[in-house]
Amino acid sequence: MTAAVEVRDVTFAYGGRPVVEDVSLTVEAGEFLGLVGPNGSGKTTLLELVIGLRRPDSGSVALFGDPAADRAHGERVGYVPQDVGEAADEMPITVEEVVRMGRYPHRYFGRFRDEDRTAIADALDRVGIADIADRRIGRLSGGQRQRAFIARALAAEADLLALDEPTVGVDAESREAFYDLLHELNDEGMTIVLIEHDIGVVTTHATEIACLNRELFFHGDPEAFVETDALAEAYGNAQHVLAHDH
Ligand code: ADP
């Protein structure tokens, strides 16, 4: 079976300073990968490389067997960026319009059919935001906004959902509800790649963990991860680097 994500020997630098170095990582379809690592360890950059928003300086990234930067992936990948709030504040559009955009690739000669309207309504319903479909996206709480972006991915019938610290600033109860939703989607076959700073939370929910600090320190089962030294090594390394910066 073709892997959902195939990262091979990837290196990426900002202005000559590598922030992702020689990373290889395969995520099979149907997995739920939790990506962890200290602040500034390259997690967001790696996620952007995975979904084709950035191209590696060397190495390759494939999504479902094709180059990640291939535009044909379009809405096959749903992305919930970390700064969705800032971007959304500028958008004078409603929740429903955001979700409708996800459905564009499915239109028939540029028109929505009944099945598209049903898919949009179902997606809104599924993530529990049907009642706020007419609200402007910039007026929502962070949690609601993230649900809107997930609904967009559902309307698109995306196969991969990439989320960058989606529950930062979200209260514990809403966070549990949010993870319940991710579990449901994952059980139905959606591949998930998620950055999460809370190790306890992510090792509870993900089916596999990747621990990054520029290089990949660990990739495997959550149970194995908590028993290895990878965490201390990856985070210890960060302190080491910080100490040398000053
Ligand atoms: P993380 O998500 O683990 O916090 P990032 O991938 O956001 O890590 O960042 C890794 C490193 O790259 C950090 O040192 C950060 O300051 C730097 N960085 C991130 N984005 C940019 C950018 N657009 N230009 C230059 N440096 C960047």
**pLDDT tens-place values along the chain, 246 residues long:** 799 999 999 999 999 999 999 999 999 999 999 999 999 999 999 999 999 999 999 999 999 999 998 866 667 899 988 765 566 666 689 999 999 999 988 888 889 999 999 999 999 999 999 999 999 988 888 888 889 999 999 999 999 999 999 888 788 888 898 999 999 999 999 999 999 988 999 999 999 999 999 999 999 999 999 888 888 888 875 444 433 333
Distance (Å) from CA 122 to ligand 1 centroid: 36
pTM: 0.91
Mutate to test the pocket of ligand 1, among 10, 11, 12, 14 (most ligand atoms within 8 A of CB): 14
Give the CA dihedral 188, 224, 201, 194, nearest 10 degrees.
-50
With a 6 Å cutoff on the Cβ, whether 213 touches ligand 1 is no
Show the CA angle centred on residue 52, arms to residues 205 and 94, nearest 5°: 75
Q: What is the DSSP letter of 41?
A: S
Closest listed residue to residue 186, CA positions, set 172, 207, 155: 207
CATH of 5-235, one of 3.60.21.10, 1.20.1430.10, 3.30.470.10, 3.40.50.300: 3.40.50.300
- Ligand 1: residue of 45, 53, 168 to mutate (most ligand atoms within 8 A of CB) is 45
Q: How much is the pLDDT for 244?
A: 39
Phi and psi at 8, nearest 5°, equal: -125, 115
